[in-house]
Chains A and B, each alone.
Chain A
Amino acid sequence: MITIFLIVFIVFTISRSAGDPVAAYVTPDTPKEIIEVIRKKYHLDESIPVQFIYWLNGVAHGDWGRAYGLGRRPVADLIERYLPLTLELNLYVFVIALPLSYWIATKAATHKDTSIDHAARVLSLIGQCFPQFFIGILFLAFLYRRDWIVIDPSWAFQKITGMPTVDAILNGDLEGFVVALKYLIGPLVVLTIASLSMSMRILRSSILEELSKDYIMTGRSKGLSKDYVEKRYARRNALIPFVTLMGFWVANLISGSAIVEVVFNRYGLGNIMAMAARSTDHNTIQALTVIYTIALIFTNFIVDIVYGFIDPRIKYGEKR
């Protein structure tokens, strides 16, 4: 809680200090006097801590202020529209990348130093070194022509959840679903590659570490097969340290999705954030920071709890 508060406050301070916040509410040719009035109305002439309190008050009432860059619409609207798309993207990435990295990591670790292992590690290195926008642009370049990617979608179905693929299905609109999928695929692939690279590497070394431990040999000495021991002993236990890195992964996803959304013109939160940063749109930046911070801290929190469940060595104040 405290962390969230601190971060939010710091970002607030920084963003308010740059540029003139009034610009969000006026056009270039608004007369000076009106500017002053507006300034007073939104308390923009007060000191920063005071402004912060007013802002908090606004948030409590659902008013996150107005965005400068996107036609001065209420930020709350923006969030409502674009959050689902980012969410959708990240969910897909998560669902695909997690089991996939698990599988690849196991193969790499158990066939250490063979071609599979080397291939996996090289790919992972490439994935981590090449900037995401680069891969993204490459993708765009090659696949846009083949019409596998859509960057300016339009569809006819009703908005229910806000997530295109889901809504398409709920509407029974198959064509729309295909469009939504194509809209999704570009960012999805890039983000998955990025996530895979990171998580596969970590999981692989985690599994390798478990494999070097003594209890593996005890298991084999009982007559358990190599497969069984690698999967049920090493891999399962390797998940435990891996889980702690989930927080890091989510952070990566957050920053990553901003990049791919810009590249692929996907109207998600990351894209908005990029625009807001470019035009020092304080309210939007503020609001998005809050959302991201909450997301990150929440994820870490969940991770901690899950960790307590899956590792029998951790007990929350329990005595035997």
Chain B
Amino acid sequence: MKAIQEQAIREDEKFLVIKNLYLNFGVYQGTVKVLDGIDLEVEKAEVLGIVGETGCGKTMTARSILRLLEANAIVEKGSIIFEGGQNILDASEKDLEKIRGRKISMIFQEPMTSLNPTMRIGDQVAEGLLLHFGEDMIKKGIELIEKEKPPLSALYKNILEREINYPNSLVPKIASRIPFVRRYQHYPKLAARRESVEILRIVGMPSPDRIALAYPHELSGGMRQRVLIAIALACKPELIIADEPTSAVDVTTQAKILLLLLNLREHQNTTILIITHNIGVAAEICDRICVMYAGQIAEVGSAIDIINHPLHPYTRGLMGSIHNVGDKSELEGIEGNVPILLNPPTGCRFHPRCQHVMGTCSKKKPELKEIHEGHKVHCWLYQKEG
């Protein structure tokens, strides 16, 4: 009885739990079985890396957490529980909109196309602030009105105060359409813009006040990536999901971005979930690493365990494909190709390419085996008793 109670309490306290996630895409040719039973737990204030190659499902897993999936994506089963709340996969859009950008943010992979080309940078960063911290921004807007004293101050203040105190009041809605009156909206926006300049400064943007007024096409790739980061941390989220945040930038910018992420974890206790195919990046900043292959999890463990003492044949193959500077050993690739998930291999999806393949591998998906504290493998090699 006590054990069950303890279990229940611990479930509630867990930061993020993905359980039994099965995700499919409906396409013309059939169903693509993108995620095949993903089980993953993310601990508070850790840096967890999801590592894998093309088609392994790492991006889809990340997007499922915010349920930012395409129209043809079907969740077969599974649950994602964040901070003991409701299942994200079942939640309403409204509930999700409260989490997105506020509690959980995402940094996307392609800085060149991930910003709205017709909006100024400052406004794009400020959008989240106005949405999630509307009240604060209104209050700051009121302060600005008091400082600047524009012609219709009293009126503006009145409307803004109404917005705070009577959220459903029609007055702001009507006022927002009348030509001169609607200028009241300008002040909270201004307040938000100033905040966003500060945020841009934090992410290391030079001349943030000038950048805030610029448009995305005026910035370089590295700077745009930093804007995306600024957008993600504007509302001080608890979890930041970074999808290949450094794949499109140079090595020197990559270092800056990675240090920034580590900083966030240090000083604001932010949990970071980083998706990458770059083992070096994972090695440098991750506490734990989860290795995925073709929609299944191969192995999870501490960074040192996964990289230096890999257990799963795929992980070993992967680590053998990486060259370390100064290393004189030969590179080893992995035989075969990543499978097409329209018709994935049965059982363990890696079995067609595995050197240690056994009979069971194609028949049943391997269960999870914890080899030692925190290091878990999905592989029949480690399931043999005795």
Contacts and interface: CB of A to CB of B under 8 A. Distances in A.
B105 A221 contact: yes
Interface in A209-224: 213-215, 217-224
B140 interface: no
B100 A218 contact: no
Contacts of B215: 312-313
A3 interface: no
B116 to A, nearest CB: 5
Given A222-B128, A225-B93, A226-B93, A217 B108 contact: yes
B126 to A, nearest CB: 10
Contact of B97 (A217, A224, A310): A224
Contact of A218 (B96, B115, B214): B115
B225 to A, nearest CB: 12
A237 interface: yes
Nearest to B227: A218
A240 B113 contact: no
Contacts of B231: 218, 222
B338 interface: no
B93 A223 contact: no
Contacts of A223: 96-102, 128, 131-132
Interface in B250-279: none
A95 B13 CA distance: 59
A208 to B, nearest CB: 12
B304 interface: no
Interface string B206-250: 000000001101100000000010011000000000000000000
Contacts of B137: none
Contact of B117 (A217, A222, A225, A237): A237
A313 B119 CA distance: 11
B114 interface: yes
Interface string B195-208: 00000000000000
A218 B106 CA distance: 8
Q: Among A221, A233, A310, which residue has the most Cβ atoms of chain B within 10 A?
A: A221
A225 B132 CA distance: 12
A226 B67 CA distance: 13
Contacts of B128: 222-223
B329 interface: no
B113 A221 contact: no
A219 B116 contact: yes
A137 to B, nearest CB: 42
Q: Among A217, A223, A313, which residue has the most Cβ atoms of chain B within 10 A?
A: A223
A41 interface: no
A214 B228 CA distance: 12
A112 B72 CA distance: 12
A236 to B, nearest CB: 7
B114 A217 contact: yes
A218 B111 CA distance: 10
Contacts of A112: 71
B133 to A, nearest CB: 11
Contacts of A215: 113-117
Nearest to A228: B131
B171 interface: no
Given A214-B108, A313-B215, A222 B114 contact: no
Contacts of A233: 116
Top 4 A-B residue pairs of the complex, sorted by shortest distance between their CB atoms: A222-B101, A223-B101, A223-B100, A214-B113
Given A221-B108, A223-B101, A223-B132, 11 more contacts: A215-B115, A218-B114, A218-B115, A218-B231, A222-B101, A222-B231, A223-B100, A223-B102, A224-B97, A312-B117, A313-B117
18 contacts: A214-B108, A214-B110, A214-B113, A214-B114, A217-B114, A218-B116, A218-B231, A220-B68, A221-B100, A221-B106, A222-B101, A222-B131, A224-B97, A226-B93, A233-B116, A237-B117, A311-B118, A312-B217
